[in-house]
Amino acid sequence: MGRQARYDNKKQMCISFTPTTYDRIDEERGVIPRSAFVSNIVEQYFAGKQVDN
């Protein structure tokens, strides 16, 4: 149980860390920032879920 909680915290930390880092890299490359792209996919996914229910 404790190990799972630690893993979840670590995962959340990674999620909060990476978007800004990737956005900076992507902006320098001149591509769409990755976090924006991912959040679009997530929104579409959840929108689809709500329609199914």
Q: How far is CA 30 from CA 1, 18, 19, 39, 42, in A?
A: 43, 18, 15, 19, 22
Query: Residue 2: which residues within 8 A CB-CB, separation 6 or more?
Result: none
- pLDDT score at 50: 65
Q: What is the pLDDT of residue 17?
A: 47
Are the C-beta atoms of residues 22 and 36 closer than 8 Å to each other? no
pTM: 0.28
Q: In terms of pLDDT, which residue wins out, 52 or 25?
A: 25
Domain boundaries, the chain: 2-52
Give residue-wise pLDDT tens across range 1-43: 455 555 555 554 444 445 566 667 767 777 666 667 777 777 7
